[in-house]
Structure 1
Amino acid sequence: MSGEDRPDGHTDGGTEQTPEAGGPTDGTDGSRFAPADRVASVAPSGIREFFEVAETRDDVISLGVGEPDFTAPWPARSAAVNSLERGRTSYTANRGTEELRRAIAERVTRYDQTYDPAEEILVTTGASEAVDLAFRAFVNPGDTVALPTPTYVSYEPGVRFAGGEPLPVHTRHEDDWALTTEALYDAGVDEADVLVLCYPNNPTGATMDASEMDAVADFCREHDLLVVADEIYAALTYDGDHESVATRPGMRERTVVINGFSKAYAMTGLRLGYAMGPPDAVDAMTKIHQYTMLSAPTTAQHAALAALDRCDDDVDRMRREYDRRRRYVVSRLRELGLPVAEPGGAFYAFPRVADVAPDGDARAFATDLLEAEGVAAVPGTAFGTGGEGHIRISYATGLDDLKEAMARLERFLS
């Protein structure tokens, strides 16, 4: 019997297989498991690779991983525990619980976004799954996907895994990392198929104001681009209101908006996100989701519902603290002579170190800083060629650690 039938209609894995006599089994030369070309062509994450080195040392202050140092708010944790105690451990509907989708639809109205919870919202296993689903659902082999750079480390690999061709679009420190139509034309995005937007931005902390977003929307309509808008940091916008490209005329029908609970609600380990878009877009993403993930974690969905219902004050408190740290870090970096654009959202600063790095090499700078002073920051090259000459500093860590890290950086520079 190849597998034992289960009540839900799935089957467990079959009987254990044994390798043929003499066959290689340990992944050394001769292994049958050579990765597919599209996998082999992708380098390991520049963030994880760097911090594996940092983890081998004591007394390291990590300013690298983009994870809140707060704990998920108590109402969310309590709801998760309660759901387990009541035995709510079964699958939910593929798209997520109806109650949670309704709550998400209500929440995003604060960004002038209106979506039907029945047909236009999909709950996913983190925003990362939603990004992956969007690429796999809408990128055909050979399609060009424009990625404003510096860019989040997962976008380019995700595009390649889907068979697409990443197209870097360089933004500039001098423009506060805003995406301009000039940059889009210079990169040839008018011939692309998909544009990815991440604002507030990881790694730069950049946001876009209304006029800048209007211009990008005009470009997308004129050149018939689909848009994947990753808005995971929307609630962590410090100056002004969050601007979404999906609210511009003619953009809702060509945009998938992605958000989640990891950053604003400090729920990274619960792995819950969501995607919003027209019914045909959500249908396509759900088709992949139901075959690969089936449904997002049930316990996390109960936590998220409580977060939306009862944790606004907690989010406001965390945002105020991030803002305090932001102003401190930017002020200190500038005192130390490191140019840095004012981050308008998220919890990252992206200072330029080219003038003080060996041969302008940000990776060498980050490596030397780690070895000499035990401060771990991510070299900008981890975020694409547009990050050369910069490092990413996360201020999602305590103010005391930030002060000590800045003191060590000052000592290192002197």
Structure 2
Amino acid sequence: MTFLAGIALISWAAWVWLLVGRGFFWRTDQRLPRTGAAAEPDRWPDVTVVVPARDEAEVLPLSLPSLLAQDYPGRADVVLVDDGSTDGTGSAARAIAEGQGPGALPLTVVSPGPPEPGWTGKLWAVRHGIAVARGRSGAAPTPADGQRPTGPAGGEARGCPAEFLLLTDADIAHAPDSLRRLVAAAVAHDLDLVSQMARLRVANAWERLVVPAFVYFFGQLYPFRWVNRPAGRTAAAAGGCVLLRAEAADRAGVPDAIRGAVIDDVALARALRRHGGRIWLGLAERVDSVRPYPRLADLWDMVARSAYAQLRHSVVLLAAAVAGIALVHLAPPLCLAAGLAVGDPVAAWAGGGAWAVMAGTYVPMLRHYRQPAWAAVLLPLTALLYLCMTVDSAVRHHRGRGAAWKGRTYPRPQAAPDS
């Protein structure tokens, strides 16, 4: 057997194992269970939607109205935390709320000031929003923050703490029944965290090439079926849409316990699981990201700012990740081409078989994103891009730039804590 054939066979065996031994990560059937009227709670718990927002005035008109228009039978409100924006995010949010019709959820706009040492900006904003939702001392907005809830359904701030918190990003748009379905699922299945991976935008060529693979690779790292096992050890969440039971958050000490995490959604899920929390993660059907990524550079930054943190800033883990991507994703087409070129039938057969299995596992995610199935053969090219993004993430870290987001740089960010 030639060396080339050996590499091809190892790659083929790796894909056979991934196909059946990695929690069927490639399937897209983990969806929020539909609950009929009989399964809805007798009493709908109070909910506060917490939206951390930094320089989001451009996307708020596409996302915030969907939150204010939630058809929720219980008591709910929205707290938007203006995290040091310079583009008028807070004013834009108030203007949007004032333009809503009767029955819209009340909006409170607050600003926590600069994050304290050891905190990432998003988690500092989330901490302030949760404090407002729980009615803790010192959390009320100051006159500079917005003073009173805004909007047709506004009034004085709630006097009792919220029982559930919906943590959602400023670029996420929700269908009118999103909050209702999330809460119904949490109550019916006694869940402490219910998270949906929002459908990201795929409107241009770079988004079509990179975005579905982002969710595919995430599922490969954190198979949703494993996350959703009650006694499982795998824990993950998707930060764009996380419904969190407030009592479970207090029990796990979040967000304070994960204050420095760059990959905050995974860190949150792990913290809850360590403290006995029941979590669920699935793909969203009616929760969408409205943030555009018009250039490859935009998508590159999205991945590179946290990829090395996921590897715990370890050169050894980086080398293992590069070798793994090369063996699993790049070797199959290369072995197929080289095997045909040099007349090595074993290398060609095994390389082609591995590439076929790889493409087959990618097709369900492409269908979820309404993309043609033939695009699955391009996955090795996308994997090469992700390999380069990961290496660039490490280079940025070692040059002191670390994770950068909207004017903030965290030179030595923390990875999500181990479970």
TM-score normalised over the length of structure 2 = 0.24
User: TM-score, normalised to structure 1's length?
Assistant: 0.24
